[in-house]
């Protein structure tokens, strides 16, 4: 079975967590959801490149579904679970770095309320709405999260993503995100 081989190859080489049949319910706001066939929590970009390599080797036809799960605040997962690979960014992806007087760079796993609070403590305005959204920065960007008249797209300069098909980091200007 492809999922067994994907699990084993990741388990033998990845720095991040790799596990089989992990219940997703504790990872969601509504505490619903059955098991992920394979849960992968990459530690770094090298782990993402490994995932791309493994998927290319084992699943060249692209039959195995891959789902990226953030903090689980805007999803409902079936009690039957996810028959594929769930990628959930590890704590290594939760960071905020200052970038000059008017900006910051936040990792995908960073809690959106934590980022909003970080910005407010430094006198940076605009993302205050994020304090009320229990998601991650990555999820908020992907869904253009917003509240109280603000939204993520109003405050982005660029996004750095990992393209699994190309096995490459891609930087996209906010205007190019659609």
Burial (0-12, 13-18, 19+ Cβ within 10 Å), 17: middle
Q: What is the pLDDT of residue 21?
A: 98
Mark the ranges of the chain whose per-residue pLDDT is less than 50: none
What is the SS3 assignment for 68?
A: strand
Asked if 162 and 48 touch (Cβ cutoff 8 Å), the reply is yes
H or E element: which one contains 20?
Answer: strand 17-23
CA distance 163 to 71: 21
For residue range 62-75, list pLDDT tens digits in order.
899 999 999 998 89
Cα 37 from chain centre: 18
pLDDT at 86: 98
Query: What's the pLDDT at 60?
Result: 87
């Amino acid at each position: 079975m492809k999922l067994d081989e994907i699990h084993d190859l990741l388990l033998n080489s990845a720095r991040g967590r790799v596990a089989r049949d992990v219940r997703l319910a504790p990872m969601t706001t509504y505490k619903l959801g059955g098991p992920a066939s394979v849960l992968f929590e990459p530690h770094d970009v090298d782990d993402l490149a490994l995932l791309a390599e493994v998927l290319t080797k084992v699943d060249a036809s692209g039959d195995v579904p891959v789902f990226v799960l953030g903090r689980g605040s805007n999803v409902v997962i079936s009690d039957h679970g996810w028959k594929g690979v769930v990628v959930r960014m590890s704590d290594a992806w939760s960071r905020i770095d200052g970038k000059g007087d008017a900006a910051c760079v936040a990792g995908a796993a960073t809690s959106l309320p934590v980022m909003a609070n970080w910005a407010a403590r430094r006198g940076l305005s605009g993302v205050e709405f994020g304090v009320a959204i229990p998601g991650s920065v990555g999820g908020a960007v992907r869904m253009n999260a917003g509240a109280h008249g603000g939204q993520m797209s109003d405050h982005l300069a660029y996004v750095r993503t990992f393209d699994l098909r190309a096995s490459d980091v891609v930087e996209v200007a906010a205007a190019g995100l659609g």
